[in-house]
Chains A and B, each alone.
Chain A
């Protein structure tokens, strides 16, 4: 049952990314490129996606997950160094190629060799991340 829900959610996510135009790197880079031909589409995608989720978060107060278990705990209150460093690195890659993890996989079948190279490289980065995270913790110990 959990797997079925996951398949449904993953499929809907992929369909949404396809329909929204977010697998087109030109549209994503167009949003970030305020000094070029600025493209506001991404704001509509993000805004549209937050509407069902705002309702869903409210519903979590009065129900349990359909397949059992519990909902995620409240978000951590503190903003730490890793959150900022990681987000800056992610943003740099996002700006360079116009791809983030969801669209990179959604467009895997039609993104050509370039899309595949990006996905493999992203996977490698994710594989290297735990070691780099540990190194970061050692280099600058948490306060």
Chain B
């Protein structure tokens, strides 16, 4: 396997290509939380099929890849309470903040959107402070 940063760059280029295909093909911003959230809360009713096809590909392609080359380790914490809390925070936060790493980060910053940049600064700072507190100060994750 290549060094991590090279795989990161290659994977990143493919993610950017995906976002470019979605933008130039359908005129839509590839934000994972918006696409999922619109299906869940019904706000994306008008283009529900398109969202479901996107999510189908997002789940199926890595599944096929994992069958061919083997699944990478995800190192997901076994602490279910942490996972429930984290999932709720990510679900609520991305919908109130109107975006996540893909929408605000990849799609927003690449067009120099102030909101995308501000959101990204805040979620990275919050993530950094959270892991510092919970890992190094409290020692619980």
Chain A residues near B (Cβ < 8 Å): 2-27, 29, 32-36, 39-57, 59-60, 63-72, 75-79, 82-102, 104-112, 114-115, 117-130, 132-133, 136
Contacts of A19 in B (CB 8 A): 7, 10-11, 14
15 interchain pairs, CB-CB under 8 A:
A13-B15, A23-B74, A36-B135, A59-B24, A69-B26, A86-B96, A89-B89, A91-B125, A95-B126, A95-B128, A97-B86, A101-B90, A101-B100, A118-B86, A122-B90
Q: Mark B45-65, 1 if CB is under 8 A from A, else 0.
A: 001011101111111111101
Q: Which residues of B contact A48 (CB under 8 A)?
A: 8-13, 15-16
Chain B residues with CB under 8 Å of chain A are 4-5, 7-30, 32-33, 36-37, 40-41, 43, 47, 49-51, 53-63, 65-66, 71-78, 80, 82-98, 100-102, 104-111, 113-116, 118-120, 122-132, 134-136, 141
Query: Across the interface, which residues of A come within 8 angstroms of B28, CB to CB?
Result: 72
- A90 near B60 with CB under 8 A, answer no
Nearest A residue to B129 via CB reads: A95
For the A-B complex, the count of residue pairs with Cβ-Cβ distances under 8 Å equals 488
